[in-house]
Structure formats: structure tokens, C-alpha cells
Structure 1
């Protein structure tokens, strides 16, 4: 059964009506002038060795979503959100981390549910990170439908990865994007904040964790790619650190059970080593 959330309509200010022609022109110019950057290249999965490979099985993370999932603004996935997130989780957990990514540039939440989630890595991850929202914002997805889309997306991930923790990355602070002029930036930013509140409610209702994006990151132009819209590698690193801190993961790896007297210690260790392979 599809999950639905209660929704309160947010009235639009009547003061924006006279600005409609200006906003339309600014939106058209922004789309035409913003450089089109390619998704990151390189492997869509990776493995980072921990300090003690035999201490615990590798922690597995899958990043699913739109342009930020596929690393638009970076040259390689290892220098985009998946790679930097794996590095941050390795430091936090003191474990090896295996990562993979499934995404589509320009995808809406509805498309991610229908097309991206089904083809994501089938291995059982410990953590799934979702990035979505900006394309629904640009396309002015009605807010009631956005609420339903987010509930469906979280539910689809839950159905596919029942044992994984789910982290929903919050909407970016669009009101600070350098590529977007005022007053369009103000209008889109206000709508993005409303969408983020709906996203938070959907995450909570679906048993996921919502991680709001730190607005301070958007004040540093160096954290944006050349299009002024997507993160640069430095931006992905900063964002990944925040997401790793917010991720609902064990603080420490579970200690290995002591071997019984007379048991061959190579047996259990061999089992643990086999489990640390990449996704």
C-alpha cells in the first residue's frame, strides 16, 4: 500500500503575481546560460580498506538519486559524494567501507522510484543514501504530489533493502545558489524550504533519517562547480562529512567473539575476510 502524508497548503504571496513575467524570463535565461556538466566518470563502485581488515565486515553504502548522486561537477565518483562519503564513514566507523552508486542526471523523485531503485546494487547494504528534490523543484512539482512521491521513494527503498538504514539528504539552500538571480532565487529558495519540510516528514514516517544540508556551505563559492549550481569536489567532500555524521550507523564495530579453546583461529578470520570484498 502506498504511504501518504498529511499536507498543509502553503499560500503563495499575492505580491509575487506582478513578478511572474520577470521570474519567467529569469528562469529561461538561467537555463540557457548555465553550463551543462557531465556526470562523474570512473567506477560506480569502490572499496576502501580499513586500518584492521579483520576487525569487522566491510560497511556497505549505496548512494541513489539524481545529478548529485552521479557526481555532476566532479570528474570521478571517487571525488564526488559516494567516494568522499565512504572516506568519512571509514574514519567514523574505523572499518573498511564498500560503496556503489545508482543515479540519473535530471531524475525526479518519481523517476528514481520507478527506474533507479530497481537497478541499484542488489547486494545488501548497511546504509542507503538518497539525494533528490532539485529536479522536482525546477519542474514545480505540486507539493501534494511531492509529498506522495517522497513517501513512495522511501517505501520503495525500504521494500528493496529491508535491513538497511536509510538517510535522506535534505534540499540544498537554493536561495544561495550563485547561478540563480534574484528575485527568482528567493522564490525557488522559499519553495525548496517547504519541500524540505515535506521531505523530513516523509523520512520520519518511513523510518528513515532526514539530514538537512548546512546552509553555510552555500556561502563558499569554492564549494560550487563551474555551473554555480552543482557541488565542486570540495563541496561534495564537505557535504559527505555532514552526511556521515548524520548517518544512523553503529558507533563502533562489533567485537569479534573470542575463539573457543582449541579452535583453529584461522577459520573465523577467513570468514570475516571473505565478507570484506567490494559490493
Structure 2
């Protein structure tokens, strides 16, 4: 489940103040302001930004890069957020140890990831790069055509930096089910998120990446959300990691599997 950075709700009112073309704009503005006042701000996860799930060498190398969900907002430590749980899930599926690392920034857009985060990681050589972006482009109302261009540049940039890696784009979350957002704000923002996810799927197909849609059923379980009603809880990160590992495993080269273990 991708999620916005901790400044999301302060931006939301400004976004819908300019949405004069939307008939419900006055209602959306009031709802956005109320949500901004009543929602807690959560910090990124702490602790080591790298680790290993399992034992034995050489380890399969995982890099998680992106926005606030990459840096574990909603969890206390990276080992209990997306990178740690995804490494554990991949270890089970690949039958070998998984070394994980994380590079992210709360508030990062797709463009910011490719211009700021990817170049800073020169020298790393991951086997799998999982990218979490989209919510911050959503809240800034990035035009859909520009969003498509940004994704193309992002995938191209990541593949250029990590030529031997599989690139997996984590799909947009089902924002239309987020408990933090009241109706009709949830419906309006969620519809745009679904449009962005379709573009993400097309961009992945066109540029040699893997798109991993989020299981909408996850959003029906309030226990999978952190206290802000937007970011995943540790249980949410675990469930999401299982889905991402399932999506990634068929695309891992055969040489990355432990002998005798299926993907």
C-alpha cells in the first residue's frame, strides 16, 4: 500500500481549493480541512536502513526506493516495515537469503525519485528494485499525461542505473477505501488514483518493468492501517510485502533461485 508523506493533509485543502471545476469543491474543501486538523502526523521508521533475512551467501539483493511507505511511515523500524517484511517473504519464495536496503523520502514524487534518489545510489547492484510512488503525485494533481512521462523516465532511469535488476512498481493503493478520508472526498480522490494506476500498469508494460496491483481487500481491514488511517501498520506492511513478493517471484531469473526450490 503506497501512502502519502506526513504533509499530505496540509496539502489536501490547498489542492481542492483550486478544484473549481468540481461541483463538489466546497464540500471537498471542508472535508479536507477537517481531515487535516484531525489526523496524526507519523514519523518514518527508525533503525538500520539495511539488513539480511536468512543466512548464507551470496544473498539476493533487494532495494526498496520511493516515498513515505519506502521509509516505513506507520512502523517503528524498517525491519517491521516494507523492506524487512519483503525480504522475509522473498526468502521464503526464493529459498535463499535476501539482503535488503532502503532509500526513500517522505513526500517524494516519481520525478523526485529519479532525479534525487536514484543517482545517489551509484555503486549498489540490486537484483530487485521495488519502487513506491504515486500518492504525492496524486495530491499535487500531477496531470495524467505528465504522470505517464514521469513514470517512463523513472523506469528508464532505474533500469539504466541497475541494468541487471528486475524493476517492480508497487501499484496505487485503493484510496477510495482509505478510512482517513470521508465521502465524497474519498470517492473523488480514489477515482483519480485508479486512473493513475492504469497508467502505471501501461508504463510498466511499455518499458520493461513489472506492475504489482494492490489487493483491494487489504483496505477493508482497519487493522492494516496505522493510526493516521492512511499509511500501513506493521501488519499492513507484512500483507503488502507478501503480495509484492508473489508478484516479483515469477520475474526473478532462474539463477537467483536456490537449487531445488520453485519460485
* Contact 1:48–1:96 (CA under 8 A) maintained in structure 2: yes
The one-character-per-residue Cα deviations of 1:50-109 (angstroms, maximum 9, x if unpaired) are 4xx26xx21000000000000000000000000000000000011011000000001111
Deviates more, 1:184-193 or 1:31-40: 31-40
1:37-186 paired onto structure 2 within 5 Å = 37-50=42-55, 53=56, 57-120=58-121, 122-186=123-187
Structure 1 residue 249 and structure 2 residue 247: aligned?
Answer: no
1:206 equivalent in structure 2: 207
Q: CA deviation at 1:205?
A: 1.1
Q: CA deviation at 1:120?
A: 3.1
The one-character-per-residue Cα deviations of 1:95-130 (angstroms, maximum 9, x if unpaired) are 011000000001111111111111236321110000
SS at match of 2:23: helix
1:193 equivalent in structure 2: 194
Q: Distance in 2 between matches of 1:254 and 1:239?
A: 24
1:224 equivalent in structure 2: 225
TM-score, structure 2 as length reference: 0.87
SS at match of 2:245: helix
SS at match of 1:18: coil
Unaligned ranges ≥5, structure 1: 1-15, 257-279
The one-character-per-residue Cα deviations of 1:126-181 (angstroms, maximum 9, x if unpaired) are 10000000111111111111111111111110110011000000000000000001
Q: Distance in 1 between matches of 2:160 and 2:65?
A: 15
* Contact 2:51–2:101 (CA under 8 A) maintained in structure 1: yes
Structure 1 residue 28 and structure 2 residue 29: aligned?
Answer: no
Q: Distance in 2 between matches of 1:87 and 1:141?
A: 34
Q: Distance in 1 between matches of 2:147 and 2:112?
A: 12
* Contact 1:102–1:119 (CA under 8 A) maintained in structure 2: no
Q: Distance in 1 between matches of 2:89 and 2:211?
A: 18
Moved over 3 A (4+): none
Q: CA deviation at 1:26?
A: 1.5
RMSD, aligned CA: 1.6
1:238 equivalent in structure 2: 239
The one-character-per-residue Cα deviations of 1:252-271 (angstroms, maximum 9, x if unpaired) are 72649xxxxxxxxxxxxxxx
Q: Distance in 1 between matches of 2:187 and 2:110?
A: 23
SS at match of 2:118: helix
Match of 1:19 among 10, 13, 24: 24
* Contact 1:44–1:101 (CA under 8 A) maintained in structure 2: yes
Q: How many residues align?
A: 237
The one-character-per-residue Cα deviations of 1:8-28 (angstroms, maximum 9, x if unpaired) are xxxxxxxx8321111122122
TM-score, structure 1 as length reference: 0.82
